[in-house]
Amino acid sequence: MHDTSAISVSGLTRRFAGTSAAALDGVDLEVATGTIHGVLGLSGAGKSTLLRCIARLERPDAGEIRIAGSDWTSLSDAELRRERGKMGIVFQQLHLLASRTVAANVALPLADKAMQFPAQLSGGQRQRVALARALATAPRVLLADEPTSALDPETRASVLNTLNRIRDRLGVSVLIITHDLRSTAGICDSVTILDAGRVVETGPAFQVLRHPSNDVTRRLLAYTESPSVKEAIPQHLHFEEVARP
């Protein structure tokens, strides 16, 4: 099973001091090599905690994390630093250095923007700089936390297309953390739905979205099906076009 998985998570548990409920409660997750997998859920579901644990920015209390075949839960700090070259991360806040140019923020140039600063870029351009920086080490796995957050529909579609090309052309396996089913409908091969730190539904994207078996999934789906949201989805990323049996 691990041989075909870019990311394999088993029994992942994380508790924070002063809270009665676990932020993650026995989460199992598989991301097949060369695929895009979406983790979705309402606010407080545990999505960002899951990303931070997978990246080992948070230390889980229990469970196993395997990245590209390596057991990340048993790595020393020195080993973890070496292994992190296999993983690129794009945070929701992007974390670009305001005092550094685009060229200094990332080893890869961004055409005529290379000598500009983040404040001079649009939201979509900043997102692409963050993606380029995450890919600078040629990782096998890319983690993206809310990559379409606060973007207009046209820019959102462009960023999603970029993620698709990253998977198709570079063979990078992508894990997207999002509450936005527009992203899932457009590019994800498979999805996992989280609620209160637990997996409540998982499977191929078209199957989960067309035949949801959980109320949380139905609530997320109801937002996607609203007329205003449908109009914002480019035709080639439209729900009906990708969520077919």
Range of the domain at 122: 33-56+84-242
Look at strands 5-14 and 24-32 and give their pairing.
Answer: antiparallel
The model's pLDDT over 89-116, given as tens digits with 9 standing for 90+, comes to: 887 644 444 445 444 444 333 464 444 5
Q: Would you say residue 127 lies in a domain?
A: yes
Query: Does some domain include residue 68?
Result: no
Distance between CA atoms of residues 173 and 33, nearest Å: 6
State the chain's maximal CA–CA distance in angstroms: 51
**Domain of residue 166, CATH code:** 3.40.50.300
Q: Is residue 14 situated within a structural domain?
A: no
Q: Cα dihedral sign for 42, 31, 214, 52?
A: negative
**Domains of the chain: total:** 1
pTM of the entire predicted model: 0.78
- C-alpha distances (whole Å) from 190 to each of 38, 98, 236 are 6, 35, 18
| Contact in structure between 156 and 148 (CB atoms under 8 Å) | yes
Q: How far is CA 30 from the centre of its chain?
A: 13
Tell me the per-residue pLDDT of 42-100, one tens digit each, with 9 for 90 and over: 888 999 899 999 999 889 999 999 998 889 988 888 888 888 878 888 876 444 444 45
Q: Does a structural domain hold residue 7?
A: no
